[in-house]
Structure 1
Amino acid sequence: MTFPMIPNRVSIVVPCYNREKYLNQCLSSLINQTYSNIEIIIVDDNSTDQSVPKIQSWIRSLPTRQQQNIVFLSLPRNTGNAGAYTTGMFLARGEFIALQDSDDYSHPRRIEKQVEFLRKHPKVGLAGTQYAWFREENGKRFPAPNWLRYGEEIKKSYQKGKHCVCVATSMFRRSLFDHHGGFHRGINRIEDYKFMIKFFKNGATIENIPEILYYYRAHPDQRSRKNRKRQ
């Protein structure tokens, strides 16, 4: 059961597992968005480091009016990234749901531009964005690898079994989640791909915004790097 929807609000879901070093930059990039009608839903996935105290301290540092727009849930056991993301989606009250990994950060106008795009394109159910990646040690940004696709090429890529949307950059209409649910927890390492395929199979249109609105951190403990090592 989901909460009643609040028109024009964006619910930003941030799962966290042992990301104490990166939380301030991640969360500050969201609370300072130019689009103000947001709620930030932080789901700690039973971290074993100091992530929970860091999150609590960050929330206390905010003005009261901003604290009211933060939802924080600490899970009693580890559910995995897919489980934490989906838990946050169930808590969302916004007309739109945006995703962000807790070791990355967003451009200040990311949410504003994605809402504007979805308003202008009512047939699009989900919009990702172009992104840049940066090294943890120096913060220098680099263009993303050329694997994203646009327009009809997105559907063609997924039909061929290829992945071409950076899921952590996504914003989608909450109605998609209400009808089709979130990530599949039982599918390790390809939950992002399956998430997109599920929307396509149910008739959703997916697009990428070609502007860099997201910054992806490269570091030894990032989830995608660990997944590649397991394959």
Structure 2
Amino acid sequence: MAYSRIHQLVSVVIPCYNAVHYIEECLDYLSEQSYKDMEIIVVDDNSTDRSADVVLRWRMRTGFTRLTLLQMPRNAGFSGAVTSGFFLAQGEYIAIHDADDFSHRDRLQKQVEYLNAHPDIDLVGTNYMAFEDENASEQTLSNWLSYGEDIVSRYAQGDHCVSHPTAMFRASRFDKLGGLTRNMNGAEDYEYVAKFIQNGYGVDNLHDVLYYYRLHSNQRSREFY
């Protein structure tokens, strides 16, 4: 029997590892989303700081009841944490979010509207701004994304053009494809989008800037790029 999902609910999955300085701001922005039919799933990947305590205090302070905190008994790595969050998701849609970033208040609304209006699209990312941790007012527009039919051709060439933490996808596709691979370290996000395309699922990006990507010395991506 097919897994029963909650119609129009968005499950926001946040992998969190030693993000004590950022996770509260991330959650504050999410709580102000114009789209209110959402749950938040924070997967604390056995952090060595007090990230989990901050999440629990935030839930108590805000009274946001649709928040689940999963504390991993050991460090599962990025793909393990993300996929664990996917398994907990109850929504029709799953949105990905990094613990050290924040989203525009209309991000979820616009992505849900797009997926509702485009049944041929199964995963949609957004444009984003990057900013240095010390100066959020100076932001740089991304320059590597693609849109429409260009996306398929770029992935066919081995290129990557969808920003993973901006993605929202139909949870029914996760039910068929599973989660992120653990066979590679640093390119799991590329492989996951490529898996959608290889299985004939539509992928697109919104031109709207709906995500803000924080650059700092401790972020995971600096290990690889």
TM class by shorter chain equals over 0.9
Shift of 1:144: 2.6
Shift of 1:50: 1.1
Is the Cα contact below 8 Å between 1:3 and 1:91 reproduced in 2?
A: no
Residue 97, structure 1, aligned to residue 94, structure 2: yes
Q: Which residue of 1 aligns with 2:195?
A: 198
Q: Which residue of 2 aligns with 1:77?
A: 74
Query: In structure 1, how many angstroms separate the alpha carbons of the residues matched to 2:2 and 2:191?
Result: 22
Shift of 1:3: 6.0
Match of 1:145 among 142, 146, 153: 142
Residues 24-103 of structure 1: matches in 2 within 5 Å?
Answer: 24-63=24-63, 66-67=64-65, 69-103=66-100
Query: In structure 2, how many angstroms separate the alpha carbons of the residues matched to 1:80 and 1:117?
Result: 31
Is the Cα contact below 8 Å between 1:132 and 1:141 reproduced in 2?
A: no
- Structure 1 residue runs of 4 or more that deviate by more than 4 Å after TM superposition: none
RMSD: 1.3
Number of matched pairs: 225
Q: What is the TM-score when the length of structure 2 is the normalising length?
A: 0.97
- Residue 37 of structure 2 aligns with an amino acid whose one-letter code is N
Shift of 1:140: 2.0
- Residue 142 of structure 1 aligns with an amino acid whose one-letter code is Q
Is the Cα contact below 8 Å between 2:22 and 2:100 reproduced in 1?
A: yes
Query: In structure 1, how many angstroms separate the alpha carbons of the residues matched to 2:128 and 2:43?
Result: 23
Shift of 1:197: 1.0
Write the deviation string for residues 28-86 of structure 1: whole angstroms up to 9, x where unpaired. 111111100000000000000111111111111122xx21x111110000011111110
Write the deviation string for residues 199-228 of structure 1: whole angstroms up to 9, x where unpaired. 111110100000000000000011111222
Shift of 1:129: 0.1
Q: Which residue of 1 aligns with 2:114?
A: 117
State the SS of the aligned residue for 1:15. strand
Gaps of at least 5 residues in structure 1 are none
Gaps of at least 5 residues in structure 2 are none
Match of 1:178 among 175, 179, 195: 175
State the SS of the aligned residue for 1:151. coil
Q: What is the TM-score when the length of structure 1 is the normalising length?
A: 0.95
